[in-house]
A and B are shown apart, each in its own frame.
Chain A
């Protein structure tokens, strides 16, 4: 009882003082645990972009932004706690960076009327905005990723994958299981043999999986991994001398952290992406000037320009653009979560916009609509150069096979709509 009263007092004081005059962007980050290597750069990029907007432009549309960070440790329970403790502060958009927490929050955010942006993760069928009114996953999703990888391989093999063996090494969770349906459909369409190789959380132990791969000798390995699992997989692939150029990771398995540990052996490893790599963009000058030199960089400030930092920055940029769109639509500067949702739904990213923001050619151009919350699903391929220690984009952003993905999205979202009695939002 004593403890209860003590916390009661603490929480009461905490609940007493929300400040409403800002644009609040909660950052459900994870800087601890087995997934911290991925969580830290993303959270840093997300926070730094808003810090820069505050310092350079005085916020968005004259209203200052505020990032509220909450540590989830990639754990769904803590994610719920973070969501409940931050939603009262006027949070505009949630980006949990965890598929598990996303599944948790899809119904909750919809009921509370707060939009959620799951960029390149989460529930793929949320691309169908007719069913998922408050969930957005532009510009690309897991199924675009799976199809993008197969398209790339088709191109490599002169359009024919018949009789090839492709293995999927995946994190045995909702995240890793996402591409299985798509790859199964694609294997039927293109005639390649598809094999599933699950790896259990957190993925430090993969000896048996890679022995299996050595025995089965697949032509290509696709990986859906995250956190410490990626480094181990790259190392194990090197150990069995699997040719690295035939090893393709999803964008969550394609950061510096994942390949540096394996050293030169990781040279040639490929990963998908939906945005540019490196720090050769004008926006980084502004980050340096307004954030780093001012001593306001988030975290240790050593992640700038890494793949996941760029992704966090990209997520923040898209959120900020959605705010601008919402401010234009509704004619108010201090927008509400409901107005933010309208802004996200009307978001249009053009080449001119990206260039003006200091991110020319950084990502694909796309338009969000009520029916399509998933963007265009353009996917590019990057490759790791172990001597230069950098990722390079080796293909254009190419479309994925929407003939296969479209019906799957339709089917999965229809099942969700039936389970939850959702009638179309777009009508």
Chain B
């Protein structure tokens, strides 16, 4: 009834192959985009931006990145927190001007990058580091690879805590995002307008999602999925595992790096590596894609939305409505997230994305299911 292709004719290949071939679906997508870009910025306030929308958008990028690696290419990674840290610290170094020292002397100092390019550089540096830590994936698989990426997580956090060059020798070991603007509009720092930070993150989220969607359904994505489904068979039919795996690590890390840079510069403004990018972050993003749906772009968004909104919603309902003690609600949150992960792994391994697919199928047949 609502969601159907009847009467919706494609006359070109381009029309047939577009991301949303069904008209209803496509218009729904346009409406969501319209609301997100044009309507939300007029109604957003500090609370909405900083408590819900910014973390949602930023985690969505991280989940997209991890989903490419885990969901599409089948390489388990527990290094997301560490890679986000690489993004954050590169962004910080580029936005404050990278200083190169040799033998105790300052050789030269790069000019300060604009915040936009600092975020991009954060992504690029992370892609490099990601490829480096992706190399073991050529020899090891599954749990062993998970452990290797776990090493990346701990090594990177240790590195950023240990080498004071990364935090510009500040006494506290924290990095603080100085005020930076884009076309005269403040993007980082305490005096930002919520619409500006929101739109800045939204831009990156949309671009990343479009890139991810198109890569995963193009030749690169098909190679990743071939590797995921059976790497030996993939090699026999002509997929180069080295290139497929390393590109997956590269693209995935790029997204994760972008999200780390935004997480530090735009969302939090000040970051301490062990606390913000610890192992919990890696697990959180992994839970997002497990609950959202492995191997699905929509799933990355659904998972991020779910895990960002759940604690806030629980808090509002539990503490503000029912007046429960705050610690009970915090514990309840842990119990619910843990329970949900088990339920999803058993009942719906493909996550919320699969529920959405089933819902669409039902809509298509409604009101005459067969």
Binding site for B on A (CB under 8 A): 1, 3-4, 6-7, 10-11, 14-15, 29, 31-32, 36, 69-71, 73, 75-78, 80-81, 84-85, 87-88, 99-100, 103-104, 107-108, 110-111, 123, 172-174, 177-178, 180-181, 200-201, 299, 412, 419-421
Is the Cβ of B275 less than 8 Å from the Cβ of A173? yes
> From residue B170, how far is it (CB to closest CB) to chain A in Å?
8
Is the Cβ of B326 less than 8 Å from the Cβ of A173? no
Q: How far is the CA of A104 from the CA of B264 in the complex (A)?
A: 11
Task: Verify if B210 is at the interface (C-beta below 8 Å from A).
Answer: no
Q: Given A87-B46, A201-B278, 8 other A-B contacts at CB below 8 A?
A: A10-B313, A32-B330, A70-B315, A84-B51, A100-B272, A104-B270, A111-B190, A419-B178
Task: Verify if B173 is at the interface (C-beta below 8 Å from A).
Answer: yes
Output the nearest chain A residue to B191 by Cβ-Cβ distance.
Answer: A111
Is the Cβ of B278 less than 8 Å from the Cβ of A123? no
Q: How far is the CA of A225 from the CA of B326 in the complex (A)?
A: 25
Is the Cβ of B171 less than 8 Å from the Cβ of A31? no
On whether A123 and B190 interact (CB within 8 A), knowing A10-B316, A11-B316, the answer reads: no
Nearest 8 pairs between A and B by C-beta?
A: A31-B327, A107-B190, A71-B326, A174-B172, A111-B190, A32-B330, A84-B47, A81-B51
B322-355 contacts to A, CB under 8 A, are 325-327, 329-331
- Could you say which residues of chain B place their CB within 8 Å of the CB of A107? 176, 189-190, 269-270
Binding site for A on B (CB under 8 A): 32, 46-48, 50-52, 55, 161, 171-174, 176, 178-179, 189-191, 267-272, 274-276, 278, 302, 305-306, 309, 311-313, 315-317, 319-320, 325-327, 329-331
On whether A103 and B270 interact (CB within 8 A), knowing A11-B48, A14-B316, the answer reads: yes
Q: Among A14, A174, A419, point to the contact of B173 (Cβ < 8 A).
A: A174
A-B contact count (CB 8 A): 125
> From residue B193, how far is it (CB to closest CB) to chain A in Å?
11
- Could you say which residues of chain B place their CB within 8 Å of the CB of A174? 172-174, 272
On whether A7 and B312 interact (CB within 8 A), knowing A80-B50, A103-B270, A104-B270, the answer reads: yes
- Could you say which residues of chain A place their CB within 8 Å of the CB of B55? 77
Is the Cβ of B51 less than 8 Å from the Cβ of A85? yes
> From residue B149, how far is it (CB to closest CB) to chain A in Å?
19
Q: How far is the CA of A10 from the CA of B321 in the complex (A)?
A: 10
Output the nearest chain B residue to A107 by Cβ-Cβ distance.
Answer: B190
Is the Cβ of B52 less than 8 Å from the Cβ of A103? no
Is the Cβ of B190 less than 8 Å from the Cβ of A108? yes
Q: How far is the CA of A31 from the CA of B316 in the complex (A)?
A: 17
On whether A177 and B305 interact (CB within 8 A), knowing A15-B47, A103-B270, A420-B178, the answer reads: no
Is the Cβ of A14 less than 8 Å from the Cβ of B320? yes
Is the Cβ of B172 less than 8 Å from the Cβ of A7? no
On whether A7 and B329 interact (CB within 8 A), knowing A1-B32, A84-B51, A174-B272, the answer reads: no
Is the Cβ of B326 less than 8 Å from the Cβ of A6? no
- Could you say which residues of chain A place their CB within 8 Å of the CB of B48? 11
Is the Cβ of A70 less than 8 Å from the Cβ of B326? yes
- Could you say which residues of chain B place their CB within 8 Å of the CB of A36? 327
> From residue A91, how far is it (CB to closest CB) to chain B in Å?
13
> From residue A226, how far is it (CB to closest CB) to chain B in Å?
12
Q: Among A1, A29, A75, A85, point to the contact of B275 (Cβ < 8 A).
A: A75
Q: How far is the CA of A76 from the CA of B305 in the complex (A)?
A: 19
Q: How far is the CA of A3 from the CA of B174 in the complex (A)?
A: 35
Q: How far is the CA of A88 from the CA of B312 in the complex (A)?
A: 16
> From residue A219, how far is it (CB to closest CB) to chain B in Å?
26
Output the nearest chain A residue to B320 by Cβ-Cβ distance.
Answer: A14
On whether A103 and B174 interact (CB within 8 A), knowing A11-B52, A172-B274, A420-B179, the answer reads: yes
- The 13 listed contacts between A and B (C-beta, < 8 Å) are A6-B313, A7-B309, A36-B327, A69-B319, A70-B326, A81-B51, A81-B312, A107-B190, A173-B272, A174-B272, A177-B171, A177-B173, A200-B274
On whether A412 and B171 interact (CB within 8 A), knowing A7-B309, A77-B55, A419-B176, the answer reads: yes
- Could you say which residues of chain A place their CB within 8 Å of the CB of B327? 31-32, 36, 71
Is the Cβ of B329 less than 8 Å from the Cβ of A181? no
On whether A173 and B313 interact (CB within 8 A), knowing A77-B268, A412-B171, the answer reads: no
Q: Among A3, A70, A85, A299, point to the contact of B47 (Cβ < 8 A).
A: A85
Is the Cβ of A201 less than 8 Å from the Cβ of B274? yes
Q: How far is the CA of A299 from the CA of B326 in the complex (A)?
A: 10
- Could you say which residues of chain A place their CB within 8 Å of the CB of B269? 104, 107-108
Q: Among A3, A14, A181, A421, point to the contact of B171 (Cβ < 8 A).
A: A181
Is the Cβ of A73 less than 8 Å from the Cβ of B330? yes
Is the Cβ of A29 less than 8 Å from the Cβ of B326? yes
- Could you say which residues of chain B place their CB within 8 Å of the CB of A412? 171
B172, B319, B331: most-surrounded residue (chain A CB, <10 A): B172
Is the Cβ of B326 less than 8 Å from the Cβ of A69? yes
Is the Cβ of A81 less than 8 Å from the Cβ of B50? yes
- Could you say which residues of chain A place their CB within 8 Å of the CB of B189? 107, 420
Is the Cβ of B46 less than 8 Å from the Cβ of A84? yes
- Could you say which residues of chain B place their CB within 8 Å of the CB of A78? 311
Q: How far is the CA of A104 from the CA of B331 in the complex (A)?
A: 25
